[in-house]
Homo-oligomer: A and B are copies of this chain.
Amino acid sequence: MARPRVPLLSPDRIADAAIELVDSGQAFGVNALARRLGVTPSSLYNHVDGRDGIIELMRGRLGETYLSEPLGGDWVEVVTQTMRASRRMYAEHPAIVPLLVGKTITHPVVIASYDRLATALLGAGFPDDEVITVIAILDSFALGFGLDLASPDDIWKPETPTTSLARLLEQAAKGPERSDRVFEIGLEFLLDALRLRLGRLDLD
State the A residues within 8 Å of B (CB). Answer: 25-28, 94-95, 97-98, 101-106, 108, 111-112, 114-116, 118-119, 122, 128-129, 131-134, 136-137, 139-145, 147-148, 150-152, 154-160, 162-165, 168-169, 171-172, 178-179, 181-182, 185-186, 188-190, 192-194, 196-197
Contact = CB atoms under 8 A, between A and B. Distances in A.
State the number of copies, please. 2
B98 A168 contact: no
A169 B104 CA distance: 13
A108 B147 contact: no
B94 A102 contact: yes
Contacts of A111: 156, 158-160, 162, 165
Given A115-B163, A143-B143, A164-B115, A137 B185 contact: yes
